[in-house]
Structure 1
Amino acid sequence: MTSVPATLTVTPLEEKVSVVEEKTQDSQYALKFAGAAISNMASSAFCNPTDIVKVRQQLRTQTPGARGNAFWSVGVDMARTEGVLSLGGGISASMLRELVYSGIRMGTYEYFKDTLHDASNGALTREGLTLKITAASIAATIGSALANPADLVKVRMQAYYPNGSPYRNMRHAFASIWQDGAHKAVAAGASPMSGGLQALYRGVEATTIRGIVLSATQICSYDQIKQSLKKRGVMQEGVPLHFVASTFAGFFCSVTSNPVDVVKVRLMNDKTQQYKGAFDCVRQVMVNEGLFGFYKGFGMCWARLGTHTILTFLIYERIRYLFGIEAM
């Protein structure tokens, strides 16, 4: 009986190297997501007191600049009437929001940069702002939309209630908001499922726009400033460079995102349907409060977002170093 010789298939070395590199790159993207989520959660936990004061300021509709709306007045009043622990309100929802929102918007930024660069065959250069802004916008759009329910619950839990908060915890807040939307939908002859989802996705337009504006200025300015300072030989990779770049990034994103943040917070806390949508909210703020109405809470926004940005990038770069990933 004649034996048939076995056929030995040899995989070219280049293909093996390509597969290994692809797996390594995929694992790095996963670690970047984890690092982005951890760093943003840590920063948000530290900045929660300033965040809740900012939300309280943005929900007030009194004359812009009135003394009672100053961030120190709001903070002191909260501590005196609601207790110091009130400054930690909504922190559980904030952590969930950062896990989804920031994990995606910051953790997938470089994935979209690499993908778009390869898809354009290098036409979108890594040094150009077009690639950076496009990548940041795509990542922020996905992260903002998916995290909207957690963002809404955070705002509701941080709002002021004269008779005490109606929410016992984050889980109860989710359930209450869902049930309220479902009941209204049934009364209007619609599906309770659609009503619950609409309630949790209230203000998603403003949330997404804010996410894009914030990420395009925060992440891209940090990336661009780092790149420029290193290229000119002004600073080398390290903590001092990360601190300088993140300080500028924190200021820029505070200026650009505050107006959208005001609209987002108003819409999310609008239980009486005072606003028909984002554009109607913009119109009412402009008519009733003037242009400076969009910058209510800016001092606390800068204090919070500036500190948050610095801490986030310092922690994120350190986590990347510990994970064996090159600096951003």
Structure 2
Amino acid sequence: MSAALKNQSKVPSELVDAPEQSKSPKNYRGFVGGVFSGIAKLSVGHPFDTIKVRMQTTDKSHFRGPVDCLMQTIRNEGVKGLYKGATPPLIGWMFMDSLMLGSLNVYRRVLNDNIFHPARYPGEQQKKLPVVGHAMAGVMAGWTVSFIAGPVEHIKARLQVQYAAEKSKRQYSGPIDCLKKTFNGHGIRGVWHGLSATLLFRTFFCFWWGSYEVFTQALNTNTNLSAPAVNFWAGGMSAQIFWLTSYPSDVIKQRVMTDPLGPERKFPRWRDAAKAVYREQGWKGYWRGFVPCFLRAFPANAMALVAFESVMRALPE
């Protein structure tokens, strides 16, 4: 990023609307930044995610609540049990974060240049993309990354609901074994099982990136916070807005992804899973496991964005 841009704005380097961004080679920087973003997100957030998935995919007879789920997991499987299924998201998030931020930036420029503020004459000063444009770009980036996120989250979910402490008693010995068995038994469609539910879930990225822009503008205007602090608070608060709006769709997605494949399959469509959740637990079923998810949302996503932006600022352009 140029010195002028650093002085003019606290907005993250990869998410800025300025046309100058397209002139600097960012490919390797985005990849490296995505690695550190994925590591930060996994380290802080995966134990919460494991509790969330287990709460979402079981009834009350299995776990009385998130604390009981946490204690049973540690008692029966040790701390390592909280990191079951961690390898797929660690690898996947390297690519997912890079694809998400890269496509988000592209969609923002395309929307601004062609929909919201098309140039009427050469040299015209470009106006900033409005909040609704950021929300639209968020949806489009969410759909784009879904084609990577779907298989990653599918494998992760199946590993997270293996409750046996001994590896020999588990259906899958690890992510590669899970991927191989899924592909050998059900082909490409089996690996991408739950893609429609994933697309539904990531449609709610409009709330994440729309609110992120609102919070970023408010913090830049009304505070003297440093760039990392703005990244942290805007990233954390917008993540919580996202989960407040999207959580029921995530419950549905997890039920679909942990549904048996083959003849035993219960939910041919995500709508069938949605109906089953309501039939079994009523409206409360759509919010089962929300507490660990909400607790995870702020620190995991705030630190991921801080890590990503810190690496981006540190690396030479």
1:322 is matched with 314
Specify whether residues 168 and 145 from structure 1 end up closer, same or farther in structure 2 by C-alpha distance, changes over 3 A only. Answer: same
Secondary structure at the counterpart of residue 291 of structure 1: helix
1:14 is matched with none
1:203 aligns with one of 190, 194, 218: 194
| Residues 6-53 of structure 1, C-alpha deviations (whole Å, 9 max, x = no match) | xxxxxxxxxxxxxxx989636135533542453133212332111111
Residue 176 of structure 1 aligns to which amino acid in structure 2? K
CA distance in 1 between partners of 2:213 and 2:28 (Å): 20
Residue 64 of structure 2 aligns to which amino acid in structure 1? N
1:222 aligns with one of 212, 236, 250: 212
Q: Cα distance, 1:200 vs. partner?
A: 0.9
1:172 is matched with 177
TM-score by length of 2: 0.82
Specify whether residues 137 and 37 from structure 1 end up closer, same or farther in structure 2 by C-alpha distance, changes over 3 A only. Answer: farther
1:268 is matched with 257
Residue 183 of structure 2 aligns to which amino acid in structure 1? W
Q: Cα distance, 1:203 vs. partner?
A: 0.9
Specify whether residues 205 and 166 from structure 1 end up closer, same or farther in structure 2 by C-alpha distance, changes over 3 A only. Answer: same
Residues 33, 107 of structure 1: 8 Å contact kept: no
Residues 92, 170 of structure 1: 8 Å contact kept: yes
2:235 is matched with 246
| Residues 137-167 of structure 1, C-alpha deviations (whole Å, 9 max, x = no match) | 1111111123311211111111134583211
TM-score by length of 1: 0.79
Within 5 A, what are the aligned runs for 1:29-108? 31-62=29-60, 68-108=63-103
CA distance in 2 between partners of 1:165 and 1:305 (Å): 29
Specify whether residues 69 and 108 from structure 1 end up closer, same or farther in structure 2 by C-alpha distance, changes over 3 A only. Answer: farther
Q: Cα distance, 1:56 vs. partner?
A: 0.6
CA distance in 2 between partners of 1:125 and 1:60 (Å): 50
1:3 is matched with none
Secondary structure at the counterpart of residue 108 of structure 1: helix
Residues 34, 95 of structure 2: 8 Å contact kept: no
CA distance in 1 between partners of 2:104 and 2:31 (Å): 9
Specify whether residues 242 and 60 from structure 1 end up closer, same or farther in structure 2 by C-alpha distance, changes over 3 A only. Answer: same
CA distance in 2 between partners of 1:37 and 1:135 (Å): 23
Residue 245 of structure 1 aligns to which amino acid in structure 2? A
| Residues 297-323 of structure 1, C-alpha deviations (whole Å, 9 max, x = no match) | 100111222221111121122122213
The count of corresponding residues between Structure 1 and Structure 2 is 286
Q: Tell which has more relative contact order, 1 or 2 (C-alpha 8 A, sep 6+).
A: 2
Residue 118 of structure 1 aligns to which amino acid in structure 2? D
CA distance in 1 between partners of 2:70 and 2:50 (Å): 9
Tell me, yes or no, if structure 1 residue 256 matches structure 2 residue 245: yes
Deviates more, 1:136-145 or 1:114-123: 114-123
Secondary structure at the counterpart of residue 89 of structure 2: helix
What's the % identity of the aligned pairs?
Answer: 20
CA distance in 1 between partners of 2:313 and 2:281 (Å): 47
2:15 is matched with none
Task: Could you tell me which runs of 5 or more consecutive residues in structure 2 were left unpaired when the two chains were aligned.
Answer: 1-18, 119-125
Specify whether residues 42 and 234 from structure 1 end up closer, same or farther in structure 2 by C-alpha distance, changes over 3 A only. Answer: closer
CA distance in 1 between partners of 2:161 and 2:86 (Å): 13
2:148 is matched with 146
Tell me, yes or no, if structure 1 residue 126 matches structure 2 residue 128: yes
Residues 33, 108 of structure 1: 8 Å contact kept: no
Residue 42 of structure 1 aligns to which amino acid in structure 2? A
Residue 77 of structure 1 aligns to which amino acid in structure 2? Q
Within 5 A, what are the aligned runs for 1:4-19? none
Kindly report the root-mean-square deviation, in angstroms, between the aligned alpha carbons of the 2 structures. 2.5
CA distance in 1 between partners of 2:25 and 2:313 (Å): 15
1:186 is matched with none
Secondary structure at the counterpart of residue 120 of structure 1: helix
2:286 is matched with 294
CA distance in 2 between partners of 1:99 and 1:320 (Å): 14
Task: Could you tell me which runs of 5 or more consecutive residues in structure 1 were left unpaired when the two chains were aligned.
Answer: 1-20, 182-195
Q: Cα distance, 1:135 vs. partner?
A: 1.2
Specify whether residues 125 and 277 from structure 1 end up closer, same or farther in structure 2 by C-alpha distance, changes over 3 A only. Answer: farther
CA distance in 1 between partners of 2:116 and 2:163 (Å): 55
